[in-house]
Amino acid sequence: MSDAPLAGRVAVVTGGSRGIGAAIAALLAEAGAAVVVSGRDADRLERTAKDLEATGASIATVIADVASREDCERLVDTAKQRFGRLDVLVNNAGITRDGLVVRMKDDDWDRVMETNLRGAFLMTRAAAKVMMRQKSGRIINIASVAGAMGNAGQANYSAAKAGLIGLTKSTARELAHWSILVNAVAPGLIETDMSAAIPEAAREALLAQVPLGRIGTAREVAEVVRFLAGEGAAYITGQVLHVNGGLYI
């Protein structure tokens, strides 16, 4: 069915309760996948799930912190128990704790690393075991332009996102044998709660460097994730797809 190319597939989207993750969950559901969305805020997660279910999608929610191994394993188990398999993992959950490196608190470094990088590792390890038994799967890591370019005030975040790109390339090589494709999508400046927290002057300075001259939308990132999850991307692995209006060329 061309209008439901992911029918019968099961996806997990971490941090699927708002922003880019919610847009990804919506497009994967629109393509016919059953989607399990996670986040820490139960109310926000339930509201998003209700909106998605209203479109006729099969949705499950799991309150889970990606920094917790137990939570990650419970999330993957829930996908298997509810829908029988796991085809697509989108490691989207992420946070910022910005500050100049000389003033950065240990906790700001640790929280960003354990959410943005360790979380993706924990989810990848748990999901890959299921996908290896199926001999197929797609893992899509949401990195950032900051992981490629660096960004003053984001040493922790940039290091985590650069690490995520390394994780993507290594796991792509390891898991290819089981037809599991691993890629990263690296957004630039995208309109969400996260970018709304950037001070106005810094945001304007960043926008001035975007050749397309505007901020991107969560949907524009989600479109690329949907492509990577589908049959059209069957020969792509270990790559970083940049979605940034030309900010990094």
Does 245 sit near ligand NDP (CB under 6 A)?
no
Nearest approach, Cβ of residue 235 and ligand NDP (Å): 25
The residue to which tokens 């490196």 are assigned:
101
Helix (H, G, I), strand (E, B) or coil at 116: helix
Span near ligand NDP by CB under 6 A; candidates 4-12, 129-137, 190-198, 226-234? 190-198
Active-site residue flag, 248: no
Nearer to ligand NDP, 107 or 193 (CB): 193
Helix (H, G, I), strand (E, B) or coil at 149: helix
Q: How many residues bind ligand NDP (CB under 6 A)?
A: 29
Nearest approach, Cβ of residue 177 and ligand NDP (Å): 28
Name which position in 61, 115, 124, 158 contacts ligand NDP (CB under 6 A): 115
Nearest-angstrom CA–CA distance, 80 and 89 = 12
Nearest approach, Cβ of residue 179 and ligand NDP (Å): 26
Torsion of the alpha carbons at 213, 193, 127 and 178, rounded to the nearest 10: 0
The residue to which tokens 């998003």 are assigned:
48
Residue of 137, 157, 162, 222 marked catalytic: 157
Nearest-angstrom CA–CA distance, 202 and 193 = 15
Name which position in 61, 78, 92, 156 contacts ligand NDP (CB under 6 A): 92
Considering only residues 25 through 44, tell me which ones interact with ligand NDP, judged by CB under 6 A: 38-41, 44
Which two structure tokens, joined as six digits, stand for 112?
Answer: 């960003």
Does 171 sit near ligand NDP (CB under 6 A)?
no
Give the count of beta carbons closer than 10 Å to the beta carbon of residue 155: 20
Name which position in 6, 10, 11, 21 contacts ligand NDP (CB under 6 A): 21
How much of the chain is in helix, strand and coil states, percent to nearest 5?
A: 50, 15, 35
240-243 and 34-39 beta bridge pairing: unpaired
Tell me how far apart the terminal alpha carbons of the chain are, to the nearest angstrom: 36
x/- track of binding to ligand NDP for residues 136-165 (CB under 6 A): ------x-x---------------------
Q: What distances in angstroms separate CA 170 from CA 232, 233, 243, one per listed residue?
A: 22, 19, 22
Does 15 sit near ligand NDP (CB under 6 A)?
yes
Does 19 sit near ligand NDP (CB under 6 A)?
yes
CA-closest candidate to residue 237, choices 136, 157, 115, 133: 136
Span near ligand NDP by CB under 6 A; candidates 130-138, 173-181, 192-200, 228-236? 192-200
Residue 18 half-sphere exposure toward CB, CA atoms < 13 A:
14
Name which position in 72, 180, 182, 190 contacts ligand NDP (CB under 6 A): 190
Name the residues annotated as catalytic: 157
Residues lying near ligand NDP in the complex (CB under 6 A) are found at 14-15, 17-21, 38-41, 44, 65-67, 92-95, 115, 142, 144, 187, 189-190, 192-195
